[in-house]
C-alpha cells in the first residue's frame, strides 16, 4: 500500500508547495506593487505641488500698469544707450543695484544693455568684485526680465550688447561713466531730494561733456554701482510693489525651492498650500548673518548683532513668540547652523515648558536628496542663496538683522501683505509686522542703511 500511495503523496506535496510559493510570490508582488503605487503617487503629488508653487509670483503676479504710467512720463530718444555692467554683491544688493540702474535709465530716456553680474570669489566670500563677468541669467531669469521690462516700459529698447545698438561703431566718443546720485552727492538718507529733476541734471551734464544726441552718432553712458539712494516711493506705492518684479530668479532655483517646500510639508505634515504666498502655522524662517564676510564687514566689537549670542538670542525669543516647531535656517556657514541648533536644544531642555521640547532645525541640505541635492551642490554660494531667499518668503514667521540686504529684501516684500502701513507697528524693532521682524532698533547698530525708508522696489 505504501508503494502504491507514494506517487499520490508526492504529487500532493508538490501541489501544496506550489500553492505556498505562489501565495508568497503574490504577497511579495503585492508589496512591490504597493510601494510602486505609493512612489508614483508621491511623485505625482510632488510634480503638481512644484508646478503650483512655481506659478506663484510673490506676493502676486506683476501688474504692468504702474510701470507703464511711470514710463509714459518719459520721452525716449534715439542715439542714447545705458549699461549696468558688473553689478556685484549678494542677491539683495544686486537686485537693488540693477533696479536703480534701470530706473535712472528710464529717467534718461535711453535704451539699455541687459545687465551683467560680477562673480563672487569662491575662495573669499568678502571679495564680491572678482572681475569675472557673468550674464544676467547667472542668478536671474533673463527671459522674464526682457518680457517684463518690454511690457512695462514699451518705449525702452533692450540690447544684448552695446555693440548691437544702431550705429554704435560711429559713436561720438568712448563711453561716459556716471554715478546715479552724482548730481546730488549730498542728500538725506531717505534718498535724492529731487528725483524728478534727474533728467534735467543729466541733460545739462551731457551738454557739459560737449555731447549732442544723434541717432547716427550715439552716446553710451555706463552706470557705476548705484545703491540705496533713489527714493522709489516718489513714483507711488503701486510702482514700488510692481517694479521689483521685473527681476525673477532663475527657473532651476525656483524649482528647487518648491521641492524644498514640498519636502518640508511631507516630512513634518505641515499645512502648506503652494498656491498661497504665506501659510500660517507652518514653519519659522531664521536668517543668520554670521559668515566670514559678514564678520569682516561688520566687526562684532562694534556691531551688536554680529555677535553670535546676541543674534541667536533674538531669534530664540521670537521663535518662542511664534510657537512653531519647525525652524528653517538660512546661512552660508554650516558651522553656524550647527551651533544654532545646539544652543536652541540647550535652551529648550532648560525651559520649564514641556510642550516646547521638540523643535526641529532644518536647512535645504537636509531636505533635498538625489539629483536635486546634486544640482544644489553644483551651485555657487550666491546661486544657493536664491533657494533660501524664496523659502524665507514662504515662512509663517521670519527674522533677520538690519545690516544685511537679504532680510530687508525678504521682509519688505512680505510686508506688502501686511495689514499695517508702518513697519514698527508694535513699537519695537526696525521692522515688525505680523509676518517679519528686522531685529533691534537703530540704537543697536552703528548706522542703519536706508532700507528703513523703503527706498527699495
Question: What's the pLDDT score for residue 4?
Answer: 46
Highest mean pLDDT among 63-72, 230-239, 347-356, 446-455: 63-72
Question: What's the pLDDT score for residue 427?
Answer: 63
- Assign a CATH topology to domain 251-453: Rossmann fold (3.40.50)
Question: What's the pLDDT score for residue 124?
Answer: 67
Q: Which segments within 382-423 are labelled E, that is strand? A: 397-400
Mean pLDDT of 278-295: 94
The closest of 243, 178, 236 to 206, measured between CA atoms, is 178
Mean pLDDT of 5-29: 54
Distances in Å between the alpha carbon of 23 and those of 20, 26, 29?
5, 5, 10
Mean pLDDT of 43-52: 91
Using pLDDT thresholds of 50, 70 and 90, give the confidence band for residue 229.
confident
Highest mean pLDDT among 44-58, 236-250, 384-398: 384-398
Question: What's the pLDDT score for residue 86?
Answer: 78
Question: What's the pLDDT score for residue 39?
Answer: 59
Residues 6+ apart with CB under 8 A from 45: 262
**Between 76 and 187, where is the model more confident?**
76
**Between 391 and 30, where is the model more confident?**
391
**Between 2 and 407, where is the model more confident?**
407
Using pLDDT thresholds of 50, 70 and 90, give the confidence band for residue 219.
very high
Residues 6+ apart with CB under 8 A from 218: 78, 79, 80, 81, 165, 166, 167, 168, 170, 171, 172
> CB of 250 within 8 A of CB of 137?
yes
Helices and strands, counts by H and E, the chain: 14, 13
pLDDT tens, 103-138?
A: 999 999 999 999 999 888 677 666 666 668 889 999
Least confident of 98-102, 109-113, 311-315, 356-360: 356-360
Question: What's the pLDDT score for residue 366?
Answer: 96
Average pLDDT, the chain: 87
**Between 248 and 226, where is the model more confident?**
248
Question: What's the pLDDT score for residue 3?
Answer: 44
Mean pLDDT of 276-282: 95
Mean pLDDT of 198-214: 92
> CB of 81 within 8 A of CB of 110?
yes
Using pLDDT thresholds of 50, 70 and 90, give the confidence band for residue 211.
confident
pTM: 0.85
Q: How far apart are CA 457 and CA 101, in angstroms?
A: 12
pLDDT tens, 181-195?
A: 888 888 888 788 999
Using pLDDT thresholds of 50, 70 and 90, give the confidence band for residue 425.
low
> CB of 372 within 8 A of CB of 256?
yes
Give me the residue spans of the domains in the chain.
65-246, 251-453
Asked if pLDDT for residue 285 goes beyond 60, the answer is yes
Amino acid at each position: 500500500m505504501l508503494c502504491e500511495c507514494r506517487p499520490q503523496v508526492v504529487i500532493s506535496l508538490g501541489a501544496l508547495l506550489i500553492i505556498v510559493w505562489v501565495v508568497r510570490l503574490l504577497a511579495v508582488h503585492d508589496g512591490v506593487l504597493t510601494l510602486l503605487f505609493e512612489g508614483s503617487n508621491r511623485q505625482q503629488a510632488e510634480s503638481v505641488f512644484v508646478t503650483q508653487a512655481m506659478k506663484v509670483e510673490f506676493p502676486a503676479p506683476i501688474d504692468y500698469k504702474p510701470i507703464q504710467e511711470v514710463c509714459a512720463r518719459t520721452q525716449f530718444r534715439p542715439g542714447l544707450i545705458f549699461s549696468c555692467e558688473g553689478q556685484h554683491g549678494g542677491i539683495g544688493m544686486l537686485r537693488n543695484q540693477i533696479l536703480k540702474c534701470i530706473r535712472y535709465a528710464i529717467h534718461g530716456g535711453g535704451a539699455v544693455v541687459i545687465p551683467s553680474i560680477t562673480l563672487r570669489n569662491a575662495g573669499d566670500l568678502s571679495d564680491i568684485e572678482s572681475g569675472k563677468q557673468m550674464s544676467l541669467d547667472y542668478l536671474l531669469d533673463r527671459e522674464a526680465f526682457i518680457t517684463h521690462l518690454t511690457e512695462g516700459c514699451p518705449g525702452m529698447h533692450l540690447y544684448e550688447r552695446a555693440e548691437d545698438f544702431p550705429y554704435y561703431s560711429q559713436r561720438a566718443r568712448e563711453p561716459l561713466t556716471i554715478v546715479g546720485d552724482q548730481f546730488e552727492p549730498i542728500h538725506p538718507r531717505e534718498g535724492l531730494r529731487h528725483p524728478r529733476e534727474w533728467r534735467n541734471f543729466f541733460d545739462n551734464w551731457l551738454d557739459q561733456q560737449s555731447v549732442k544726441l544723434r541717432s547716427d552718432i550715439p552716446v553710451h553712458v555706463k552706470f557705476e554701482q548705484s545703491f540705496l539712494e533713489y527714493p522709489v516711493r516718489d513714483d507711488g506705492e503701486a510702482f514700488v510693489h510692481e517694479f521689483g518684479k521685473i527681476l525673477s530668479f532663475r527657473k532651476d532655483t525656483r524649482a528647487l525651492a518648491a521641492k524644498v517646500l514640498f519636502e518640508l510639508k511631507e516630512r513634518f505634515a505641515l499645512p502648506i498650500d503652494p498656491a498661497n504666498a504665506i501659510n500660517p502655522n507652518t514653519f519659522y524662517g531664521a536668517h543668520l548673518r554670521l559668515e566670514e564676510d559678514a564678520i569682516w564687514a561688520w566687526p562684532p566689537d562694534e556691531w551688536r548683532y554680529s555677535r553670535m549670542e546676541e543674534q541667536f538670542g533674538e531669534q530664540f525669543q521670537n521663535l518662542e513668540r511664534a510657537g512653531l516647531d519647525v525652524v528653517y535656517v538660512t546661512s552660508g556657514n554650516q558651522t553656524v547652523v550647527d551651533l544654532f541648533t545646539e544652543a536652541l536644544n540647550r535652551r529648550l531642555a532648560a525651559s520649564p515648558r514641556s510642550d516646547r521640547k521638540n523643535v526641529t532645525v532644518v536647512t535645504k541640505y537636509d531636505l533635498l536628496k538625489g539629483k536635486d541635492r546634486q544640482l544644489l551642490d553644483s551651485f555657487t554660494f550666491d546661486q544657493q542663496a536664491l533657494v533660501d531667499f524664496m523659502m524665507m518668503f514662504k515662512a509663517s514667521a521670519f527674522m533677520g538683522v538690519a545690516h544685511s540686504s537679504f532680510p530687508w529684501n525678504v521682509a519688505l516684500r512680505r510686508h506688502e501683505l501686511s495689514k499695517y502701513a508702518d513697519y514698527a507697528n508694535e513699537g519695537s524693532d526696525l521692522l515688525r509686522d505680523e509676518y517679519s521682524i528686522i531685529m533691534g532698533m537703530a540704537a543697536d547698530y552703528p548706522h542703519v542703511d536706508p532700507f528703513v525708508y523703503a527706498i527699495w522696489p
